[in-house]
Amino acid sequence: MKDFDFNITKEDWQNLKDWILDVIPDILSAVIILVVGLWVIKIIRKLLRKFFQAQDYDVTLEKFLYDLVGVGLKILLIVLVITQLGVKTTSLVAILGAAGLAVGLALQGSLANFAGGVLILFFKPFKVGDWIEAQGVSGSVKEISIFTTKLNTFQNQLAVVPNGKLSNDNIINYSAENKRREDLEFGIAYESDIDTTRKVLMDLIKEQDGVINDPAPEVIVKSLGDSAVVLALRYFASNDKFWNIHFTLLEQGKKRLEAAGVSIPFPQTDVNVFVKKDFTKNLEKNSSN
């Protein structure tokens, strides 16, 4: 087996020394640019946050621009650092182009989420603080970031929904209007009086604070069920008091209807058993034996 010659000449050491002396200034400069750049980005983001706090801007727009500026400045800083290390601009552009294509193919979902975030910001189907229902989740919008939207659910759980799916699907915004309609159903027995039921429910709805009188509340017969006449109490209520009114009407409606003698039935099933005569005779015969 042939032995390799690892002898290093003085000329090789000198070349290595010269190369290190040439590279060290560029490395130190790149480190300084990186440290100073991160510090400057931090200052710029603080100033941007103070600017948004001083102005009356949409919270959704503030968060989105704050994250976008931070990401953009960091990308610019990385380009400056790489350039300082001696990478040619043309080579850097080619590398970034190839890397961008590869990353784009690998992160198609993330790019779709970013585009979805831009669409949400532009068209504003909802904003921070709105109560929405989308992607099988309902909750209060806590934060809209570049890639995701965070919802605080009714059970005080955090739901993270990708912006790509959110911007391309149906969204129900319960906070878009300052009032909300309810059709609260009450089932009464067929022998109960409809007019008495209507009066009890109308008296009850008039006592509730937050019910909107234009259009006026009403009680209608909605359907004739198998075991009950279904009446619907229809009314508009302000969003901030909607659920309190809803639960109060459910409880007090049952109590007052019962106090007024209105029967509230529940589903029942009648079972009729038919016995054949031959079966009865055989049964009596076996019993006598």
- The confidence score (pLDDT) of residue 78 equals 81
Q: What is the bridge-based pairing of β-strands 158-162 and 137-144?
A: unpaired
Query: Looking up tokens 């490395």, which residue turns up?
Result: 27
- Can you tell me the mean pLDDT for 98-117? 65
**pLDDT tens for each residue of 202-212:** 999 999 999 99
Options 2.30.30.60, 3.40.640.10, 3.90.120.10, 3.40.50.300; CATH for 117-173 is 2.30.30.60
Within the chain, all domains assigned CATH 3.30.70.100 are found at 179-259
Asked if 209 and 253 touch (Cβ cutoff 8 Å), the reply is no
Task: Indicate whether this model's pTM tops 0.85.
Answer: no
Mean pLDDT of the chain: 80
- Omega into 215 within 30° of 0, i.e. cis? yes
Asked if 183 and 234 touch (Cβ cutoff 8 Å), the reply is yes
DSSP per residue over 81-92, as a string?
HHHHTT--HHHH
CA–chain centroid gap for 134, Å, is 7
H-state helical runs in 124-193: 163-167
**pLDDT tens for each residue of 40-52:** 888 888 887 777 7
Q: Which position has the higher pLDDT, 280 or 68?
A: 68
At 70, the pLDDT band (50, 70, 90 cuts) reads confident
Rounded CA separation 29/27 (Å) = 5
Rounded CA separation 186/206 (Å) = 17
| Percent of the chain's residues with pLDDT above 90 | 29
Within the chain, all domains assigned CATH 2.30.30.60 are found at 117-173
**What's the Cα-to-Cα distance from 27 to each of 30, 37, 80, 227, 238, rounded to whole Å?**
5, 15, 12, 84, 63
Q: Which of 13-27, 203-217, 231-245 bottoms out in mean pLDDT, i.e. has the lowest? A: 13-27
Q: What is the CATH number of domain 179-259?
A: 3.30.70.100
Asked if 259 and 196 touch (Cβ cutoff 8 Å), the reply is no
- The confidence score (pLDDT) of residue 234 equals 95
Rounded CA separation 87/101 (Å) = 20
182 phi, psi to nearest 5 deg: -130, 140
- The confidence score (pLDDT) of residue 193 equals 92
CB atoms within 10 A of CB 262: 21
- The confidence score (pLDDT) of residue 257 equals 94
Per this entry, what is the length of the chain? Answer: 289
Q: Which position has the higher pLDDT, 215 or 23?
A: 215
Residue 267 token pair: 């589903």
Residue 106 has pLDDT above 60, yes or no: no
* Diameter of the chain measured on Cα atoms: 125
**pLDDT tens for each residue of 267-284:** 666 666 665 555 555 656
Asked if 34 and 81 touch (Cβ cutoff 8 Å), the reply is yes
Q: Which of 1-5, 94-98, 156-160 bottoms out in mean pLDDT, i.e. has the lowest? A: 1-5
- Can you tell me the mean pLDDT for 109-122? 79
H-state helical runs in the chain: 10-54, 59-84, 89-106, 108-123, 163-167, 194-206, 242-259, 277-288
- Can you tell me the mean pLDDT for 79-102? 66
CA atoms within 13 A on the CB side of 276: 3
- The topology (CATH level 3) of 10-106 is Helix Hairpins (1.10.287)
**What's the Cα-to-Cα distance from 245 to each of 199, 205, 226, rounded to whole Å?**
18, 9, 29
At 96, the pLDDT band (50, 70, 90 cuts) reads low
Residue 68 has pLDDT above 70, yes or no: yes
Q: Is 277 left (phi over 0), alpha (psi -120 to 50) or beta?
A: alpha
At 197, the pLDDT band (50, 70, 90 cuts) reads very high
Across the strands, what pairs with 161?
Answer: 149
